[in-house]
Structure 1
Amino acid sequence: MTTSARTGRTLLVFTIQGAAVDVTDKSSPGQFRELLASAGAVNVSISAKGVLSGSTQSQTLVSRALNRSVDTYTIAFDNGDTLSGPFQIVQFEAAGSYNDEQTYQIGFESGGSLGFTTV
């Protein structure tokens, strides 16, 4: 999400999912499961909703969703922290009534290495 997409955001949900790599064998202490550190795939899912700030923004998001492209986004959190990297729009919904604001719901899935910056 660029800065302009963030201005009308009213909700942001951020989820990190990691796949555990089980290395348990018959010599594992007490036969408890053992996991391999720093291994396995990591996926970040982000969903947001808010108010669209213009038709250009809506057209860009719809185009990227339809093309299933993986684009670089910077997700800004309310405290100023940012998450940057490649994401694919996996869900986009826009709604609005006559002479009223147009709202959106959007879902992103990470598509590569991400950078997290704190303030």
Structure 2
Amino acid sequence: MAAQSGKDMLLKLDETGSGSFLTVAGLRSRSLSLNAASVDTTDQESAGRWRELLAGGGVKRASLSGSGVFKDQGSDAAIRGLFFAGTIRTWQLILPSFGVVEGPFQIVALEFSADHAGEVTFDLALESAGEVTFAAV
């Protein structure tokens, strides 16, 4: 696979739960982290005292984050409203030439910052709140 442009990695929000996705505008960076906790099943009879893990036994989670500048009143208002209400909505992360990660997420952090001579920026963190799916493109 050839190198991909970072601007093509999009974070989208199903603002109303209708299945219609709105791109979160103004993002300069986006990231996805997938994690699975392990379940240790090691006991005194484990071969050579090596750790043994239970296949598929741990809790899975996905974290999305992004940072940028507010540029679009619609997505800005939606993000603020979802954060303050603690609402869980379906989000998508489009990974160019790879696939789409989709599932329910809750905004767990929303930070604003500014430099005297610069623009107001924001940081956004989301945590999965149910099953997350992946569809290859």
What's the TM-score bracket when you normalise by the shorter of the two chains?
Answer: 0.7 to 0.9
User: Is residue 85 of structure 2 the alignment partner of residue 67 of structure 1?
Assistant: yes
Q: Distance in 2 between matches of 1:37 and 1:82?
A: 25
Q: Distance in 2 between matches of 1:57 and 1:26?
A: 55
Please tell me the residue identity of whatever aligns with 2:42: T
Q: CA deviation at 1:64?
A: 0.5
Q: Distance in 2 between matches of 1:41 and 1:9?
A: 29
3-state SS, counterpart of residue 38 of structure 1: coil
Q: CA deviation at 1:18?
A: 1.4
TM-score w.r.t. length of structure 1: 0.84
3-state SS, counterpart of residue 25 of structure 1: coil
3-state SS, counterpart of residue 23 of structure 2: helix
User: Is residue 33 of structure 2 the alignment partner of residue 15 of structure 1?
Assistant: yes
Q: CA deviation at 1:118?
A: 1.6
CA separation of 1:63/1:109 partners in 2, compared to 1, >3 Å: closer, same or farther? same
- Unaligned 5+ segments in structure 2 are 1-11, 14-21
Q: Percent identity?
A: 28
- Unaligned 5+ segments in structure 1 are none
Q: Distance in 2 between matches of 1:9 and 1:78?
A: 16
TM-score w.r.t. length of structure 2: 0.74
**Residue-pair matches, total:** 117
Q: Distance in 1 between matches of 2:97 and 2:123?
A: 22
3-state SS, counterpart of residue 22 of structure 1: coil
C-alpha RMSD of matched pairs (Å): 2.2
